[in-house]
Amino acid sequence: YECDYLQQTDKAIINCQAKVQFEEADQKLLLHDCTAEPAASSKVAQCLGCPEKIDLHHKELKEPLIYSLSKANSIVKHNHFFIFRHLTFATKQVVAGFRYKLQFLIEKSNCTRAEFKVVTEECHPMQEKTEVLQCNSTVDVAPWRHERPEVHVECETMVTKSVARFKRPPGWSPIRKLKPLNCPSIPWRE
């Protein structure tokens, strides 16, 4: 009797060895030992040298982000310094070192360039008329060279959508109960 082999890579392989004693009228199982091997993985190997998304809260991003913020403040021609607001995207790529691509938001702070030489802990977001910039940066790091990372940053003003306001009629309330229109062709339920 022949059995077909069904290839199922997600199933564990179990190897069994048994010692059976055959006699004329009877069979006895003397010994058996089965061991399961982990299931073969069907995952595709990662692309070596390709950018990989990295967790936005990973501590590894702290240094590239600090260099990116410093570079962004050096290229933005503004009377105030900008401070970090939010990291929106990050990848890491293995090249001749590590290449981080970051996308983040920075906002205008209360610290002016006339009063401060660099951003300090005293710098906070402006309460009114704040400006937000969206920045994309590429940071090349090779720690074994003991050199400052190479940083490229581009920032542009974010377009904020303004909400149109209109005067509501007297007695209007967003929580009032609306009655359906009386339309003879559509059965309404109340």
Domains with residue ranges and CATH for the chain: 52-157 (3.10.450.10)
Pairing of strands 97-112, 150-157: unpaired
Name residue, tokens 């290449």.
99
Q: What is the pLDDT of residue 7?
A: 62
- The end-to-end CA distance of the chain, in Å, is 71
pLDDT value for 162: 46
Per-residue pLDDT of the chain (190 residues; tens, 9 = 90+): 566 666 665 666 777 787 877 788 788 777 777 777 766 665 665 788 899 999 999 999 999 999 999 999 999 989 999 999 999 999 999 998 999 999 999 999 999 999 998 888 899 998 777 889 999 999 999 988 888 999 999 999 986 544 444 555 565 555 555 555 555 555 544 4
pTM: 0.60
Q: What is the DSSP letter of 125?
A: B
In this prediction, residue 151 carries a pLDDT of 95
